[in-house]
């Protein structure tokens, strides 16, 4: 994602799920549109070195989302200040759990997916992880 309009649309109309290190927004788009992912890493996360490290890690983690869902969704990841001191595994777990929860909520959202055709790819293959908190912190 490169334009503020795409970011705004995803954040405002998408489904939100927050974790300790990040907040993730997922919105659906047309099934033939490629998946787009955008990152918001503010100065609250740290200096330029810390922000770029967090961005690189999140970008690498998000590649799996593009491989599993090449079309039909838009994702915005907002890094929280705690992400600067998070390990690779903590960031990965937070991202995957937040994406899984947000995508499953998006699939069950009544008006959002009404226009989908039966032959369009599904958005979610959610997996439960022991100890996963299913409550939405929002």
Q: Name the strands in the sheet holding 15-18, side by side, starting at the edge strand that comes first in the sequence.
A: 15-18, 22-28, 73-79, 36-40
Q: Which are the contacts of 102, defined by CB distance < 8 A and separation ≥ 6?
A: 14, 15, 16, 17, 24, 25, 26
pTM of the model: 0.77
Tens-level pLDDT at each residue, the chain (138 residues): 889 999 999 999 999 999 999 999 999 999 999 999 999 999 999 999 999 999 999 999 999 999 999 999 999 999 999 999 999 999 999 999 999 999 899 988 766 544 444 444 444 444 445 555 544 444
> Are the C-beta atoms of 25 and 13 separated by less than 8 Å?
no
Specify burial of residue 127 (Cβ count, 10 A radius: 0-12, 13-18, 19+). Answer: exposed
Closest CA to 17 of 80, 85, 81: 80
Q: Which domains are present in the chain?
A: 4-107 (3.30.230.10)
């Amino acid at each position: 994602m490169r334009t503020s309009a795409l970011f705004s649309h995803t954040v405002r109309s998408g489904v939100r799920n927050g974790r300790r290190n990040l907040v993730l927004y997922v919105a659906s788009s047309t099934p033939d549109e490629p998946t787009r992912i955008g990152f918001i890493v503010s100065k609250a996360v740290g200096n330029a070195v810390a922000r770029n490290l967090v961005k690189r890690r999140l970008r690498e983690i998000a590649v799996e989302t593009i491989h599993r869902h090449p079309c039909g969704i838009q994702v915005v990841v907002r890094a929280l200040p705690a992400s600067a001191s998070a390990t690779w595994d903590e960031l990965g777990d937070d991202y995957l759990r937040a994406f899984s929860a947000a995508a499953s909520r998006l699939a069950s959202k009544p008006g959002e997916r009404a226009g989908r055709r039966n032959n369009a790819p599904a958005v979610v293959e959610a997996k439960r992880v022991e100890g996963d908190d299913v409550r939405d912190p929002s």
